């Protein structure tokens, strides 16, 4: 059983019945934040991490009290049970709520808090072994990418451009040529045997999957360096970059085999990436109360 159930401002209802006012600031001004959380075998994966990040985003937009009447740590598991969701995701959104259209904050605000579930298939062995392609685009987003804002027009345009170019994901590049992150993922490279990724600052989102990738990598004995690299470092036949992969909530870890017209490494998933893929699949299976299933020989 999987029903489309919505939690909206304290009430559970069918998703199709959900209504938000035309003058909700999230709709008219993009004045809100969101989270996407993985559900596996009916279990919410890394819920606490996502709620910590959500609260951090809310504090950053000066809406820190929005969840006072919405205990999401209990609401979201209840939502999953009501929906009968086995594998999929939870979408959570919090806006400053209904107010006459004006840039200045309403006083007091009346936040809109909503969440709903969607079934989803996660990458299987074929998708992982096939790998993905990235399409570089100039990063024209605002200067607070660490806030998980509902203002997503720049990623929408970037990901559409990537799709039209035959790639599965956009790759945001700074004016100085630094690799920042993907359109909806973090990006990590194996350069001279070290796992490198952009440091946490205002230019990237602190990905939950990224956090656990780095933890697992260190546990496996791999060297990790949160230091930015350039597009040139990972293209143009650079021997130093042997592997590249993305990390995100709904796609987990996906090996990157091509950037634009440049092949990454040998054009197939590398051993460091696959070791982390296996470790994460095993850990998430245990968290979800499942028997870990190893990938076939690759």
Task: Give yes or no for residue 298 having a pLDDT over 70.
Answer: no
Strands, DSSP E only, in the chain?
5-8, 11-14, 32-40, 43-44, 88-95, 112-119, 132-138, 169-173, 179-182, 186-191, 194-197, 224-225, 241-248, 252-259, 262-263
Q: What pLDDT does residue 239 have?
A: 65
Q: pLDDT tens digit string along 126-174?
A: 999 999 999 999 999 999 999 999 999 999 999 999 999 999 999 999 9
Q: What is the pLDDT of residue 240?
A: 86
Domain extent listing, the chain: 5-119, 125-287
Mean pLDDT across 214-222: 98
pTM, entire model: 0.95
Tell me the per-residue pLDDT of 86-127, one tens digit each, with 9 for 90 and over: 999 999 999 999 999 999 999 999 999 999 999 999 999 999
Token readout for 295 is 């990938």
CATH of segment(s) 5-119: 3.30.470.10
Q: How far apart are CA 19 and CA 124, in angstroms?
A: 36
- Percent of the chain scoring above 70 in pLDDT: 98
**pLDDT score, position 295:** 85
Residue 60, exposed/middle/buried by CB under 10 A (0-12, 13-18, 19+)? middle
Residue 287 pLDDT > 80, yes or no? yes
112 contacts: CB under 8 Å, gap ≥ 6: 8, 9, 20, 24, 26, 32, 93, 94, 95, 96, 97, 98
Catalytic residues: 148
* Per-residue pLDDT, 184: 98
CATH class of the domain at 125-287? alpha beta
Q: For tokens 């072994």, name the residue.
A: 129
The model's pLDDT over 3-25, given as tens digits with 9 standing for 90+, comes to: 889 999 999 999 999 999 999 99
Q: What is the dihedral of CA 168, 49, 3, 9, to 10 degrees?
A: -120
Report percent pLDDT > 90 for the chain: 93
pLDDT on residue 292: 84
pLDDT at 98: 97
Q: Cα angle at 293 between 289 and 297, to 5 degrees? A: 165
Residue 178: DSSP 8-state:
B
Give per-residue pLDDT as tens, 238-285: 568 999 999 999 999 999 999 999 999 989 999 999 999 999 999 999
Structure confidence at residue 237 as a pLDDT band (50, 70, 90)? low
Residue 113 and residue 79 in contact, taking contact as beta carbons nearer than 8 Å: no
Instruction: Report pLDDT for 238.
Output: 57
Pairing of strands 88-95, 43-44: unpaired
Q: Which of 22, 33, 32 is nearest to 105 (CA)?
A: 32
The CA angle 42-45-49, to the nearest 5 degrees, is: 145
Query: 33 falls in which pLDDT band (50, 70, 90)?
Result: very high
């Amino acid at each position: 059983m999987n029903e489309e159930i919505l939690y909206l401002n304290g009430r559970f209802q069918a998703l199709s019945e959900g209504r938000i006012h035309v003058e909700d600031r999230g709709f008219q001004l993009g004045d809100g934040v969101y989270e996407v959380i993985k559900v596996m075998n009916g279990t919410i994966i890394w819920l606490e991490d996502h709620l910590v990040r959500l609260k951090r985003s809310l504090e950053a937009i000066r809406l820190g009290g929005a969840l006072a009447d919405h205990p999401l740590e209990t609401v979201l598991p209840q939502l999953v049970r009501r929906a009968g969701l086995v594998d999929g995701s939870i979408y959570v959104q919090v806006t400053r709520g209904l107010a006459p259209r004006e840039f200045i904050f309403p006083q007091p605000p009346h936040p809109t808090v909503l969440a709903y579930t969607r079934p989803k298939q996660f990458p299987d062995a074929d998708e992982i072994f096939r790998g993905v392609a990235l399409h570089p685009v100039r990063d024209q987003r605002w200067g607070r990418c660490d806030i998980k804002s509902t203002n997503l027009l720049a990623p929408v345009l970037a990901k559409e451009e990537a799709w039209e170019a035959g790639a599965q994901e956009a790759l945001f590049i700074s004016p100085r040529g630094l690799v920042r992150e993907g359109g909806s993922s973090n990006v990590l490279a194996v350069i001279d045997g070290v796992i490198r990724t952009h440091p946490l600052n205002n230019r990237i989102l602190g990905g939950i999957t990224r956090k656990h990738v780095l933890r697992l990598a260190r546990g496996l004995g791999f060297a990790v360096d949160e230091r930015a690299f350039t597009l040139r470092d990972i293209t143009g036949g650079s021997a130093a970059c042997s592997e590249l992969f993305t990390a995100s909530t709904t796609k987990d870890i996906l090996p990157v085999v091509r950037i634009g017209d440049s092949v990454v490494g040998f054009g197939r998933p590398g051993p460091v990436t696959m070791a982390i893929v296996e470790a994460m699949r095993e850990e998430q299976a245990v968290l979800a109360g499942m028997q870990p299933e190893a990938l076939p020989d690759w």
